[in-house]
């Protein structure tokens, strides 16, 4: 699995899925024939040398006049690397794929509060912003969620497509999470979660200076019947066993930045455990925080690595620490 370089999240090189495409088979050829001998509605070409889109199309569609080729462009029937392009002078580089469609190209629906890192036949991996619900509850049925947006995304290409929930992130937690695109993948991932998930790492900005450079927190978690807050019960085997490991990355007298790894994935686990050791997550009023330093919850799901439910291949996605988490450690006078 290749990772992205630079400032963008590490994951797939492109979130535009290319299902079953073999460039060696489509270079300067028509994209096959449909049933009954009818020609396919698309043609795909691989760019060989730097040029612009209109001259490239005039060469490939030499049987058409210049105005006809311009009309095809204007109607959005040409895509470069899967994205519709209408500009005559759009630059092309070697290995780019140009697709010409007899019908108007279907463009992806814009996504709010999230970015697709990877998509294939079985899974979609996203980076979720803080503030976006993973999936709605009964009282949140009219709100925008990652689940609803991804459902619209896949149905834009296939009206029968569906999205399946595998796990969740709290609304105010940002970072990497995944959904399944079919029931088989969902069931496999959920039934083998402990074996399939190889790494699940968070960064947490917590209040105060954590004295121990690293540690392990283990408790039994229960949910309060009225407040619905999770808490650690003093009685063994009373609730769900939860184990959290942490390591200090940076600290001063006011805040600590921790790398947190989960052995278990219980509801609000990190937030409860940080409160248990006297260092609540910054901005987490529900679990004892009094700080407003970063104006959001100081919790980010930084890494998710798992075995692909169909291929068994290790998939690893890593994102950057949110810049706002580093603000409390900047020298006075440095612009935040």
Do residues 129 and 216 share a domain? yes
pLDDT recorded at residue 226: 86
Instruction: Answer whether residue 13 is part of any domain.
Output: no
With cut-offs at 50, 70 and 90, classify the pLDDT of residue 13: very low
**Structural domain harbouring 83:** 23-31+38-101
pLDDT recorded at residue 156: 80
Instruction: Answer whether residue 225 is part of any domain.
Output: yes
Q: What is the mean pLDDT of residues 35-56?
A: 78
Give the strand pairing for 299-307 and 174-180.
parallel
Say whether 193 sits in a helix, a strand or coil. Answer: helix
The two tokens of residue 121 are 């036949």
Do residues 310 and 191 share a domain? yes
The two tokens of residue 49 are 């040398």
Do residues 197 and 87 share a domain? no
Q: Mean pLDDT, the chain, as a whole number?
A: 85
**Which region among 87-96, 193-202, 208-217 has the lowest average model confidence (pLDDT)?**
87-96
Instruction: Answer whether residue 151 is part of any domain.
Output: yes
pLDDT score of 268 more than 70:
yes
pLDDT recorded at residue 104: 59
Instruction: Answer whether residue 12 is part of any domain.
Output: no
pLDDT recorded at residue 102: 72
Known catalytic membership, residue 172: no
Do residues 79 and 143 share a domain? no
The reported pTM is 0.69
Percent of the chain with pLDDT over 70: 83
pLDDT recorded at residue 10: 43
pLDDT recorded at residue 24: 29
Do residues 156 and 231 share a domain? yes
Q: What is the pLDDT of residues 203-222, one digit of tens each?
A: 999 999 999 999 999 999 99
pLDDT score of 26 more than 70:
no
CA–centroid distance for 304 within its chain: 10
Domain boundary among 101, 124, 151: 101
Instruction: Answer whether residue 135 is part of any domain.
Output: yes
Domain at 262, CATH number: 3.30.2350.10
- Specify the number of domains making up the chain: 2
d(CA 189, CA 191): 6
Q: Which of 103, 129, 170, 172 is flagged as catalytic?
A: 170
The two tokens of residue 189 are 């991932």
């Amino acid at each position: 699995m290749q990772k992205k370089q630079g400032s963008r999240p590490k994951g797939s090189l492109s979130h535009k899925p290319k299902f079953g495409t073999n460039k060696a088979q489509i270079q300067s050829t028509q994209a096959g024939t449909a049933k009954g001998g009818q020609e396919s509605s698309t043609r795909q070409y691989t760019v060989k040398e730097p040029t612009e889109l209109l001259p490239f199309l005039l060469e490939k569609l030499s049987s058409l006049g210049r105005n006809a080729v311009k009309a095809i462009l204007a109607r959005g029937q040409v895509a470069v690397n899967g994205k519709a392009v209408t500009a005559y002078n759009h630059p092309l580089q070697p290995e780019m794929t140009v697709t010409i469609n007899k019908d108007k190209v279907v463009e992806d629906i814009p996504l709010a509060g999230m970015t697709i890192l990877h998509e294939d036949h079985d899974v979609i991996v996203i980076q979720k912003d803080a503030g976006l619900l993973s999936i709605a509850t009964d009282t949140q049925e009219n709100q925008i969620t990652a689940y609803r947006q991804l459902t619209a995304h896949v149905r834009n290409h296939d009206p029968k497509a569906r999205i399946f929930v595998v796990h969740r992130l709290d609304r105010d937690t940002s970072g990497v999470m995944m959904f399944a695109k079919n029931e088989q993948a969902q069931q496999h991932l959920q039934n083998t979660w402990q074996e399939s998930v190889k790494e699940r790492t968070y960064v947490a900005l917590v209040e105060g200076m954590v004295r121990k450079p690293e540690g392990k927190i283990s408790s039994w978690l229960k949910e309060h019947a009225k407040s619905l807050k999770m808490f650690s019960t003093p009685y063994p085997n009373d609730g769900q066993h939860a184990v959290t490991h942490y390591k200090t990355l940076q600290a001063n007298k006011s805040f600590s930045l921790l790398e947190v790894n989960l052995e278990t994935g219980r509801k609000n686990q990190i937030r409860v455990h940080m409160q248990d050791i006297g260092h609540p997550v910054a901005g987490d009023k529900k679990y004892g925080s009094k700080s407003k330093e970063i104006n959001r919850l100081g919790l980010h799901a930084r890494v998710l690595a798992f075995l692909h439910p169909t291929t068994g291949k290790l998939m690893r996605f890593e994102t950057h620490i949110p810049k706002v988490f580093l603000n409390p450690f900047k020298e006075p006078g440095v612009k935040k």
